[in-house]
Amino acid sequence: MLKVWGRANSLNVQKVMWAVAELGLPYERIDVGGAFGGLDTPAYAALNPNRLIPVLEDGGTVVWESNAIVRYLAARYGAGTLWPEDPATRAAADRWMDWQLTTLQPSLSPVFLGLVRTPPEQRDMAAIGIHAERLGQAMRILDDHLAGRRFVAGDALTMGDIPLGCVYWRYVNLAIDRPELPNLAAWHERLAAREAYRQNVMLPLT
């Protein structure tokens, strides 16, 4: 049985749990991080020297970094579904996973932390506004890409949709101005039709 270390309200843990649910894998999830603590123990450091969540244990295999965990699960348990067998399709999924980290996350984090995790009197609204604008510009790139596509790598859900779907849920639930993104909205409707997404990602922002 898989063991997933991390709290359910973490975006990075949500990526892993969505993948686990899509693949129908048995698992145990252990609450650590945030209010649960537990990251500063020697036992946890032995799993992940960065003392961050999530961590996946699969028998004797330990994987950390959320996108790496999603790739591992897809490759090991989802060949032909989350893990596309065609190298070109797989590369398309892979690049959008990297794009989430390099382009979306640097702008999402300060907006999310500023609006959700920071008391109103301490918020830097000017900085939040700058990052929200950058986030909207990046989302336009993804919206353009999704024109004529059901999912980011083609007609079927792949590992490439998972990091982006987790980010998008937060994006549309933050109190910020957003551009019109019709292709993203249609894509998100398709994600929201999936029980694995609803149960593991469409949660209150905390």
Domain extent, residue 65, equals 2-77
Give the residue from 77, 96, 118 where a domain finishes. Answer: 77
Tell me how crowded residue 117 is: count the other CB atoms within 10 A of its CB.
10
Q: Which residues contact 131 (CB under 8 A, 6 or more apart)?
A: 107, 108, 110, 111, 114
**Residue 133, Cβ density class (10 Å: 0-12 exposed, 13-18 middle, ≥19 buried):** middle
Whether 56 contacts 20, CB under 8 Å: no
Whether residue 82 is contained in a domain is answered as: no
| pLDDT over 90, % of the chain | 100
Whether the pTM exceeds 0.85: the reply is yes
Query: In this predicted model, what pLDDT tens digit does every residue of 105-133 receive, in sequence order?
Result: 999 999 999 999 999 999 999 999 999 99
- The size of the chain, in residues, is 206
In this structure, the answer to whether residues 148 and 69 fall within a common structural domain is no
Whether residue 50 is contained in a domain is answered as: yes
